[in-house]
Amino acid sequence: MKKIALIFGITGQDGSYLAKYLLKKNYVVHGVKRRSSSINTSRVDDIYLDPHKKTNFYLHYGDLTDSLSVLNIIKKVKPNEIYNLAAQSHVSVSFNVPEYTANVTAIGTLRILDAIFTLNLQKKTKFYQAGTSEMFGASKPPQNEKTNFYPRSPYGVAKVYAHWITVNYREAYNIFACNGILFNHESPMRGETFVTRKIVMALCRIYTSGKGRLYLGNIYSKRDWGHAEDYVVAMWKMMQQKKPNDYVISTGKQYTVKNFVNIVCKELKMKIVWKGRGLNEKAYYKNKLIISIDKKYFRTTEVNSLLGDSRKARKELKWRPKHNLRSLAKDMIIKEIKAINENKTR
């Protein structure tokens, strides 16, 4: 019998990589998508087949803010594994929509866990929660499973709730429920307003057209960036363990946002020159101003330094990343240039 997986957040970056990974492993994959005014399935269009034909991939309308849809989908699909990747996942935006972020990201997790319990699926259905290094927030790096949580945004706080409710349902109702505490991971599928994708998109445009300017916020914040393709493997491995547990997933290498800009420029063979300091720091390419700092991109409260210690996952899950930051940047650049060229020929 094929295993059945249900992915909340199938239309997002990680959802698309995980769906492809599980289909290769011969799973039947079901995903939950939200209704939107324009079609939001571009990341999974390449694996979507006409549901009237034989397929291992199904999409259902649902929303984490709607308990009825969550309960009904789980009741219908009766999955062996549920991956909760759905969230209002943008840290900066969570300051603008804090209540909504809590509803989706925190209470949405409770809705799934309680549906598993209510439907009496504890013995059948395993649960994965997409936790984040944002929960560590202001705690000193390096951060691991023993580090205290000190979130610095409504998003981070909502994820701390999701983490502990997952632990509680595991202990109270014996559900196989685990938390992956994943550090930043990126890819060509990354949302356009996260900093790595924003940088790659802007610099590739400047490189190909000679036009445009990139505005950034805090270029000295430090992140531990991995590739989403590597990180979905860790999610699956957590779900194959004998006992449910919580794991930090990271590369163990830290770079500033400015370092990332420099790596992308180097890959593109663009020689840039940085001048000035603070809000007046700027970068020039062929004597033209291409990067400026804009106060509006600074966070209300910032997480300055994230660096993961993933020794537990490396030992128990035998997981390690294949990509480094350079190969990640290269992958993002190649796909971006391809997209620019395809648009030109349309």
Q: Residue 9 binds which one of ligand NAP, ligand G4F, none, with CB within 5 to 8 A depending on kind?
A: ligand NAP
Give yes or no for a contact between 155 and 109, defined as CB atoms under 8 angstroms apart: no
Q: Which of 201, 234, 241 is nearest to 339 (CA)?
A: 201
Cα separation, 228 vs 207, whole angstroms: 25
Considering only the stretches 74-82, 84-92, 108-116, 313-321, report the one whose residues sit in contact with ligand G4F under the rule CB under 6 A.
Answer: 84-92
By beta carbon distance, the residue nearest ligand NAP is 12
Q: Which of 102, 127, 132 is nearest to 116 (CA)?
A: 127
By the rule CB under 6 A, 34 interacts with ligand NAP: yes
Q: Residue 216 binds which one of ligand G4F, ligand NAP, none, with CB within 5 to 8 A depending on kind?
A: ligand G4F
Total site size for ligand G4F, rule CB under 6 A: 23
By the rule CB under 6 A, 218 interacts with ligand G4F: yes
Among 55, 65, 221, 324, binds ligand G4F (CB under 6 A): 221
Helices (H), 240-300: 257-267
Give yes or no for a contact between 136 and 143, defined as CB atoms under 8 angstroms apart: yes
Q: How far is the CB of 90 from ligand G4F (least distance, A)?
A: 7
By the rule CB under 6 A, 130 interacts with ligand NAP: yes
Cis peptide before 151 (omega within 30 of 0): no
Considering only the stretches 178-186, 262-270, 313-321, 336-344, report the one whose residues sit in contact with ligand NAP under the rule CB under 6 A.
Answer: 178-186
Cα separation, 84 vs 108, whole angstroms: 9
Q: How far is the CB of 178 from ligand G4F (least distance, A)?
A: 17
Cα separation, 128 vs 328, whole angstroms: 25
Which residue(s) pair with 7 in the sheet?
Answer: 31, 83
Q: Residue 11 binds which one of ligand G4F, ligand NAP, none, with CB within 5 to 8 A depending on kind?
A: ligand NAP
Considering only the stretches 56-64, 87-95, 241-249, 278-286, report the one whose residues sit in contact with ligand G4F under the rule CB under 6 A.
Answer: 87-95
By the rule CB under 6 A, 14 interacts with ligand NAP: yes
Query: Would you call 176 exposed, middle or buried from its count of C-beta atoms within 10 A (0-12, 13-18, 19+)?
Result: buried
Considering only the stretches 61-69, 238-246, 286-294, 301-309, report the one whose residues sit in contact with ligand NAP under the rule CB under 6 A.
Answer: 61-69
Task: Provide the annotated active-site residues.
Answer: 132, 134, 155
